[in-house]
Structure 1
Amino acid sequence: MERKSFADMVCPIARSLDRVGEWWSMLIMRDALAGLRRFDEFQKKLGIAPNMLTRRLNALVEAGLLERHLYNARPPRYEYVPTDRGRDFRPVLFALLAFGNKHFAPEGVSVDLCDIDTGKPVDLALVDRNTGRVYTGTEFKMGAGPAASDGLRKRFARRDAVKSN
């Protein structure tokens, strides 16, 4: 069964999920951002089938999240290195880590997000860079961006009209 592609949707969440929404892709990105580079390292750490790993690595390279670098010519062997786009995925993984620790770790926290200098655990927050306002649950909403269609603008306007009544 072929997976539906979200690449042509205008929703940025759908487009992002099209590139990294498959769980193997997220785990590969987690490990690549933690320093793993080679096929055998990913395979050993994840216990993933070689054909699935090949497909996921190729898809991440095609999406511009990883770059393939040849490190051995005979036989050809590659390293997979996060690109700037791939490194920009790190906060998404950190948010998933915090979410998982809060909601799906009944035995307690096994992996914590820590300050790189002090090693002390941090409490991750989403912050508006323009105002410094911290998101705690209801401060922000999705709205129409500059490239939004008229239909999307109307949908958000209807939502806002209902909420103001």
Structure 2
Amino acid sequence: MKRKSLQGAACPVARTLDLIGDWWSLLIIRDALEGIRRFSDFQKNLDIAKNMLSARLKGLAEQGILQTVPAADGGAHKEYVLTERGKALQTVIVALSQWGGEFMYAPGEPGSVMVDAQNRQPLRKLELVAEDGRVLTPQDVSTRLGVAH
């Protein structure tokens, strides 16, 4: 069954999910943010079938999330690196990680935590903040039709 495209939706959440909404794509982006660049390293780390990984990498490259570059070691293979568009997804990955850390583990259960690479301390929890500095709750946020940035 072919999935319905959300590419023309007025909602930016729907359009984004159309592009990166499957778990493999998000996990590839997570790994790329951690510095993984080679097909074999993505495949090994994710334990994903090669044909599925190939399709996801190709799609992410076509959408401008990843780009292929020559291998850093001068080898014949290519490597996958995040574009600026791809790097901008780091906030999404951090938000998912923080939500999962809070709600998907039993008390005391070990799990990974994202930390500041410089001081090795956990990141402060992301918050929605208004232009005037107020921390917003779900009740403080609404959606309206407007022009995308």
Residue 30 of structure 1 corresponds to: 30
Q: Is 1:139–2:140 an aligned residue pair?
A: yes
Report what 1:161 is aligned to. Answer: none
Structure 1 length-normalised TM: 0.79
Greater gyration radius: 1
1:64-123 alpha-carbon deviations (Å, 9 max, x no partner): 100011329xx9521000000000000000000011011101153511132333222233
Amino acid corresponding to residue 52 of structure 2 in structure 1: M
Matched with 2:114 is 113
Q: Deviations over 1:108-158 (max 9, x none)?
A: 3511132333222233122336222223432222222137xxxxxxxxxxx
Pick closer, same or farther for the CA change 1:16–1:115 going to 2, 3 Å.
same
Residue 94 of structure 2 corresponds to which residue in structure 1? 94
C-alpha distance in 2 between matches for 1:112 and 1:133: 27
CA distance in 2 between partners of 1:145 and 1:82 (Å): 29
SS at match of 2:71: strand
Most deviating of 86-95 and 121-130: 121-130
Q: State the percentage of identical aligned residues.
A: 39
> Any idea what the Cα deviations from partners look like across 1:35-87, whole Å, max 9, x if unmatched?
00000000000010000000000000011100011329xx9521000000000
List runs of 5+ in structure 2 lacking aligned partners.
none
Pair 129,62 (structure 1): closer, same or farther in 2 beyond 3 Å:
farther
- The equivalent residue for 1:57 is 57
TM-score, normalization by structure 2: 0.87
Paired with 2:14 and 2:27, the residues of 1 have a C-alpha distance of: 19
1:101–1:108 Cα contact (<8 Å) kept = no
